[in-house]
Amino acid sequence: MKKIAVLTSGGDAPGMNAAVRAVVRKAIYEGLEVAGVFNGYQGLIEGKIELLQLGSVGDIIQRGGTILRSARSAEFRTLEGREKALKQLKLNGIEALVVIGGDGSFRGALELTALGLPCVGVPATIDNDINGTELTIGFDTALNTVIDAIDKIRDTATSHERTFIVEVMGRDAGDLALWAGLAGGAETILVPEEKYELPNIIERLKSGTGRGKKHSIIIVAEGVMSAAELAEILKREAGIETRISVLGHIQRGGSPSARDRVIASQYGAKAVEVLIEGRGSIAIGMRNHVVVEYELADVFEQSDGLDMDMYKLSKELSI
Ligand code: ADP
């Protein structure tokens, strides 16, 4: 193999740049040429491909977002679109592709491997919702952003003796809500994987007030409902007044945490190794603190689900 390419796709995540840097530097270290594809799969279809050098990825390890930019591409979902993408790779002499992105981007990569192109997926999403890996790039940074926000909200919640509802991202996964709730000491955490019991939430809020609690923080994952909806329900059903805070896209930005930079470097380098060794339908991930590779197709086999021990613990500690 002489030349590979790298792209970032789907929702951006802090640490994508560190992963791009790792792919480029490792590839060059191993004597390969490496090209960057701009604007994800859409850019691939349009031939937005440039050869990258060591210096192209200098000074980016600490930056959020992605220098290769990201996009969502409807055209790539069609066979015609993917054939155009393959043609562009061929024109540029590219023999394999590293895809840095989330679940949807991995599906796209799997479709490309079905057309004969070796692809490796590097998991990067703040949602931490890729099956087969315990950790995705961007999750740790987003988590720290949420914790920082909860700590600040807690100050005002205490001063005014208020109940706050904080809405966090995560799409259909509750990881961000659960970890943030546990680390932020939230009284109640609502995740999409577990049915919530309204009487329970109300009871907890009331008994907290009863024992002189000055404030309450409820974390709701966007996959359950919006903070505004929950506020409305609590008011209607129990006359409980709340304030809401929707953290939104600040969760996707910012300088990546040390942890995200480290795993991005490890995952990116591992992706290049896998391609050099001749495997081409692989996902990279972390299990028990070890960087692992596994079949890309396994990502879509069955859901890892929520860490139920952690969920149980969060309940035990917030009585
Ligand atoms: P993420 O990678 O963050 O989950 P998306 O779900 O938007 O983000 O996926 C990113 C891109 O991957 C899509 O815009 C599309 O081009 C491509 N993609 C997603 N699903 C498929 C699929 N089933 N087949 C081909 N391409 C897909």
211: confidence class by pLDDT, cuts 50, 70, 90: confident
- Ligand 1 contacts (CB < 6 A) are 9-11, 41, 72-73, 76-77, 101-105, 107-108, 111, 125
Burial 47-71 (b: 16+ CB within 10 A, else e): ebbeebeeebbeebbebbbbbbbbb
Q: Is there a shared CATH topology between the 3-138+256-300 domain and the 141-253 domain?
A: yes
Query: In the predicted model, is pLDDT for residue 319 greater than 90?
Result: no
Residues 6+ positions from 120 with CB-CB distance below 8 Å: 96, 97, 98, 99, 109, 271, 274, 275, 279, 280, 282, 283, 284, 293, 296
In the reported structure, the alpha carbon of residue 317 is separated from the centroid of ligand 1 by a whole-number distance in angstroms of 38
- Please tell me the CATH code under which domain 3-138+256-300 is placed: 3.40.50.450
Q: What is the mean pLDDT of residues 82-86?
A: 98
Question: Which ligand 1 atom minimizes the distance to the CA of 103?
Answer: 4
Protein residue with its CA nearest to atom 8 in ligand 1: 10
Per residue in 32-78, pLDDT tens?
999 999 999 999 999 999 999 999 999 999 999 999 999 999 999 99
Per residue in 126-137, pLDDT tens?
999 999 999 999
* pTM over 0.85, yes/no: yes
Per residue in 269-281, pLDDT tens?
999 999 999 999 9
In the reported structure, the alpha carbon of residue 114 is separated from the centroid of ligand 1 by a whole-number distance in angstroms of 15
Query: In the predicted model, is pLDDT for residue 25 greater than 80?
Result: yes
Per residue in 267-317, pLDDT tens?
999 999 999 999 999 999 999 999 999 999 999 998 899 999 999 999 999
Q: What is the mean pLDDT of residues 216-226?
A: 97
| Two structure tokens written together for 271 | 């992706």
The residue to mutate among 72, 78, 117, 172, having the most atoms of ligand 1 within 8 angstroms of its beta carbon, is 72
SS (H, E, C) the chain: CCEEEEEECCCCCCCHHHHHHHHHHHHHHCCCEEEEECCHHHHHHCCCEEEECHHHHCCCCCCCCCCCCCCCCCHHHCHHHHHHHHHHHHHCCCCEEEEEECHHHHHHHHHHHHCCCCEEEEEECCCCCCCCCCCCECHHHHHHHHHHHHHHHHHHHHHHCCEEEEEECCCCCCHHHHHHHHHHCCCEEECCCCCCCHHHHHHHHHHHHHCCCCCEEEEEECCCCCHHHHHHHHHHHHCCCCEEEECHHHHHCCCCCHHHHHHHHHHHHHHHHHHHCCCCEEEEEEECCEEEEEEHHHHHCCCCCCCHHHHHHHHHHCC
pLDDT of residue 125: 98
The class level of CATH for 141-253 reads alpha beta
Question: Which ligand 1 atom minimizes the distance to the CA of 41?
Answer: 16
Per residue in 237-258, pLDDT tens?
999 999 999 999 999 999 999 9
Protein residue with its CA nearest to atom 13 in ligand 1: 72
Catalytic residue among 127, 129, 140, 175: 127
82: confidence class by pLDDT, cuts 50, 70, 90: very high
159: confidence class by pLDDT, cuts 50, 70, 90: confident
160: confidence class by pLDDT, cuts 50, 70, 90: confident
In the reported structure, the alpha carbon of residue 71 is separated from the centroid of ligand 1 by a whole-number distance in angstroms of 9
Question: Hey, how many other C-beta atoms are within 10 angstroms of the C-beta on 125?
Answer: 29
Q: What is the mean pLDDT of residues 88-93?
A: 98
Domain boundaries, the chain: 3-138+256-300, 141-253
Per residue in 100-150, pLDDT tens?
999 999 999 999 999 999 999 999 999 999 999 999 999 999 999 999 999
Query: In the predicted model, is pLDDT for residue 214 greater than 80?
Result: no
Question: Which ligand 1 atom minimizes the distance to the CA of 125?
Answer: 3
Instruction: Establish whether 103 is a catalytic residue.
Output: no
In the reported structure, the alpha carbon of residue 107 is separated from the centroid of ligand 1 by a whole-number distance in angstroms of 6
In the reported structure, the alpha carbon of residue 11 is separated from the centroid of ligand 1 by a whole-number distance in angstroms of 10
